[in-house]
A and B are shown apart, each in its own frame.
Chain A
């Protein structure tokens, strides 16, 4: 379905995750961040988002542990930046699919 985020019409899934990364821009990330309770989206946030997008493009499954070892942030910082479900929120802001837990 379509949704207007930061003045741009984008395709999203039922949970509000972008389905086409090419439609993403920084303003979209900021608006989703605000919706998720992150009032100030800083350059450090964007560093994480860029890392997630790169991993996604390489088809690498994302885990909190993996992000913690990425050298971009440690797990503690990740939780400070994106409190409560950091991978879910950061993935949503990064315009990539909701992380799947392997079940």
Chain B
């Protein structure tokens, strides 16, 4: 009997368990998945919690219910990965020997990385919405906030779901308008990037939307510290941006088990081949989703596309064949723009998001990089797709792991 071990039962890990359960011969392979937590959060839903459009119960299910029968779920913290002896050591001392290891430990916020972020003002005037707790604390704050300077802020890249901060700013505009207090709120978007987004064409479209909604942008701002008492964020160049309410995206970091095991980069991300998803740590260790250092978005859609390709590569690896360099960085994201509309972007390592139709050339029905109501409904429908199609690894019709160039206006 051979052992395949998956570390992390979030989006990526659960999808891999579902795929491999279908593809691996169960008389030859034992599949084990390790996660210390009980709850599986629908993380894209965190964006809607502060505005009370999603309720806490909308984004929570148990991890157990998505682990396919025949896959062993171990609920325990991971201590260390010993790559030399092909063993994962758990905190309770249990040793799991593996023939193949898949890392899917994700990324999480590390607010302690910036001086002044955690402390007396955390969840009083400084909030995050990338955690369940943070999103709910912010919801309670917004309930009776009287207005003032709201700053939406990205600490440093890369972050999970890079469009979420923009969406938050758009939804905040919509939220305060509806409450009849938009004139009492000044929204500023502060980013370490040089524009609203890194890719040129979407930056233009999104920058235009910010302007339209009266949201000020402060680009090229790398925060050095936060002064909660004075209510300012200060960058390395000495520039200050004042706030009454700071909604920050803290530094995102990979799991500390990578640091303990000696193979993370300076943000604890695992060095991974960007096309095959085999790590450079050792040939029998693969990585998927947010835990890798590949230059793709840290997003569920990316993990979804990677999962199909990684499954194929694991089967090739088992057969002793050459891996396929098939992952092209494909990402597909809805961007909520407020007032019941959304944008859709589709891109990869080589092609930036452009206008066009998706998934059918010329027909759509979804419009790329253009606001529409249908895109918004697409975003809301995605929650159902996530629980019912993505996690059980059911094939999504018409959506391919590799990005399609048809239907797009590249010029």
Contact = CB atoms under 8 A, between A and B. Distances in A.
Contacts of A84: 220, 237
Interface string B195-214: 00111000000000000000
Contact of B295 (A61, A66, A75): A61
Contacts of A61: 293, 295
Contacts, number: 52
Interface residues of B, number: 24
Contacts of B194: 85, 88
B236 A76 contact: yes
B49 to A, nearest CB: 23
Contact of A103 (B198, B224, B266, B293): B198
A65 B295 contact: no
B231 interface: no
Contacts of B220: 84-85
B224 A101 contact: no
Interface in B270-313: 293, 295-298
Contact of B158 (A75, A79, A102): A102
A65 B306 CA distance: 27
Contact of A83 (B193, B237, B267, B296): B237
Interface in B169-220: 192-194, 197-199, 220
Instruction: Specify the main secondary structure of chain A where it touches its partner.
Output: loop
Interface in B235-281: 236-237, 265-267
A12 B234 CA distance: 34
Nearest to A84: B220
A103 B297 CA distance: 4
A41 interface: no
Contact of A76 (B156, B162, B224): B224
A85 B191 CA distance: 11
Given A64-B222, A103-B157, 18 more contacts: A63-B156, A63-B267, A66-B266, A69-B266, A75-B222, A76-B224, A78-B236, A79-B236, A79-B237, A84-B220, A85-B194, A101-B157, A101-B198, A102-B157, A102-B158, A102-B295, A103-B162, A103-B198
Interface of B: 156-158, 162, 192-194, 197-199, 220, 222, 224, 236-237, 265-267, 293, 295-298, 331
6 contacts: A78-B236, A83-B237, A85-B220, A100-B198, A101-B162, A103-B331
